[in-house]
Amino acid sequence: YEVEKIKSILYNSSDYYINTTLTNKYSIMYQCTKRFVISRFNKLSIFTFNYLRYFVLTNLFFKLFEGTYNKYSPSDVKMPGVYSDKKKSLNKDMKYATKREINILKNFCKDTGCHTCGMTCHEKFIGDHQPPVQIIKDMVNYYKKRKFILYFLKLFKLYDTKQRLYPQCIRCSQLQSASVRCKKLRLIPHYKTIRMFHYSSIFHLFLKMLLLTNWKQIIFWDKNSIN
């Protein structure tokens, strides 16, 4: 009776192919278990392959539009922002930016926007010293009477007073001045700044919809993945 009951439950399942001539329930259960493991493994392989290609294609889209994961985090106004690009900045001392440097930064600004908030800069932008001038001055004054510590910092190349100029909008410049003056942390979120790489989640959903429909002519089609 037990053997017939097991057969009646499992015989018609597409995941199990049992030998109907068997009468021992343990032999039947062994066959069922074996078939179950193999079928689950095959389905898991297809499942893994599908999500692997979603992951790869979505990340290609993300990187193609210059996306980096740190651009989702807020920017500290006293440090180079998440939209900063060292290749699109200028070496500078503590002096103000010259007219020539402003023109160069204007071209950089068209590509990167404000290095702190990411907003597009047009006419109203400045050349922002990073680290800020006041922070460099405070650091120099702090280590004047601590020459022993300064010696080891220089030895391990941890003492650096070099600055670079980045394009920055007026609003972020004002927030930076207040933050440095009051010595308080100020973070700038980027929820108002939308770039193409932010649409990678929508691209991922569109990709799943595209690859899991019955459109047989699309690239990477795998009709066996839909059962």
State the average pLDDT over residues 177-185.
91
Question: Which is more confidently placed, 226 or 157?
Answer: 157
Give the model's pLDDT for residue 221.
46
Q: Which two tokens stand for residue 190?
A: 């980027």
57/83 same-domain check:
no
144/102 same-domain check:
yes
The reply to whether 107 falls in a domain is yes
State the average pLDDT over residues 201-209.
84
Within 10 angstroms of residue 71's Cβ, the number of other Cβ atoms is 17
The reply to whether 82 falls in a domain is yes
Instruction: Tally the domains of the chain.
Output: 2
Query: Using one digit for the tens of pLDDT, what is the confidence trace for 210-224?
Result: 776 655 444 444 445
Domain that holds residue 141: 75-188
91/148 same-domain check:
yes
Buried b (16+ CB within 10 A) or exposed e, 77-111: bbebbbbbeeebbbebeeeebeeebbebbeebbee
Give the model's pLDDT for residue 68.
85
Give the model's pLDDT for residue 165.
92
Q: How does the average pLDDT of the chain come out, rounded?
A: 79
Query: Using one digit for the tens of pLDDT, what is the confidence trace for 20-51?
Result: 566 666 776 777 677 767 666 666 566 667 77
Give the model's pLDDT for residue 72.
84
